Structure 1
């Protein structure tokens, strides 16, 4: 009787490895920010060899681009629900601003990667397309308020910029902590969006 063949380590399947690296990178970004980790650290956190990530990601920026793409897709889904809840474009923008703040609070690592990783979108076609999809949800709303394409884009930037600033202040604890602070910041973002939309010609 032949002895049983030695068992090979199971390790990660390809899909599991990719997802494990993504989860590890999100954890590291949450702890240190998008620039505060290396691909080797993500590998160790995921429990794989430092060579393993290169089967899926050419470098750290490629991994971050994957995460930023996920961030944009999550935003698109949330913003589509927000603006789909009514017909008044001013109220749709208010709902978008509120959803923006909640995304930043509930997905802080994705928020930081999307806006602070400094990725060159010309390198990552999928990331650029995901960003365009977010704009594609919102631009039809502002075009109902001002048909000129440049004015519409400027209005969207002002609303998004205000929501972004409030989201950052919330993240920094300037409005307190907990669900009460989040709810009040959502309301503040909605009020600000309405004010910007109503005063768009000023």
Structure 2
């Protein structure tokens, strides 16, 4: 008799099983938050046995860590495009802040996993590496405005912190609703970043 992990009751290829579980978990995070679901629920959503996930993921945190890594990589791509629109570091950090807000609005589940799942990066080398790559993309821009490494990191944190706060306010509806709300909040984030970097 085959073990539960090898059972293919749904006829899915193993590679599809991994992706199906990731999609199901992302949907559940969108509905319940990063702490509001179990691997068993993700299995049911994906249409597989509750034992199936353990072939790919040791536990729920391992699955979330893979999604958080995806979140960091998506941010990297978005932020790299934003930085590419200008050679001026003030404008680059303003564009980063606006892109941060848009990421939170367009990928709310990935945003929540990346920032609110409470994952221990020391357990997940790939996640830590993806986070370091993101810092490595942004920190050189801040260094052009604040040559001291500590000052540059502090500047980047202030810009990112302001963008994060505006992104959360946007998602909570504090800026209202409507087709122009996201664009208005992006402009708020860019304006705030310019004020921080110019000050």
Give the TM-score normalised by structure 1. Answer: 0.93
Where does residue 193 of structure 2 map in the other structure? 193
Where does residue 92 of structure 1 map in the other structure? 92
Where does residue 171 of structure 1 map in the other structure? 171
Indicate how the Cα distance of structure 1 residues 188 and 10 shifts in structure 2: closer, same or farther if over 3 A, else same.
Answer: closer
Deviations 1:8-38 (A, max 9, x none): 8562111100000000000000000000000
Q: Provide the alpha-carbon RMSD of the alignment.
A: 0.9
Instruction: Report the 3-state secondary structure (helix = DSSP H, G, I; strand = E; otherwise coil) of the residue aligned with 2:150.
Output: helix
Where does residue 183 of structure 2 map in the other structure? 183
Structure 2 residue 133 is the aligned partner of structure 1 residue 129: no
| Equivalent residues, number | 192
Where does residue 146 of structure 1 map in the other structure? 146
Taking the aligned partners of 2:27 and 2:99, their CA distance within structure 1 comes to 23
Stretches (4+) displaced over 6 A: none
Give the TM-score normalised by structure 2. Answer: 0.95
Preserved CA contact (<8 Å) 2:34 2:112? yes
Where does residue 34 of structure 1 map in the other structure? 34
Structure 2 residue 82 is the aligned partner of structure 1 residue 82: yes
Structure 2 residue 156 is the aligned partner of structure 1 residue 156: yes
| Shift of residue 124, structure 1, vs aligned partner | 0.1
| Shift of residue 176, structure 1, vs aligned partner | 1.1
| Shift of residue 137, structure 1, vs aligned partner | 0.8
Taking the aligned partners of 1:75 and 1:67, their CA distance within structure 2 comes to 12
Taking the aligned partners of 1:178 and 1:38, their CA distance within structure 2 comes to 34
| Shift of residue 177, structure 1, vs aligned partner | 1.7
Taking the aligned partners of 1:9 and 1:118, their CA distance within structure 2 comes to 34
Where does residue 5 of structure 1 map in the other structure? none
Taking the aligned partners of 1:17 and 1:104, their CA distance within structure 2 comes to 27
Taking the aligned partners of 1:86 and 1:179, their CA distance within structure 2 comes to 27
When Rg is computed on C-alpha atoms for both structures, the one with the higher figure is 1
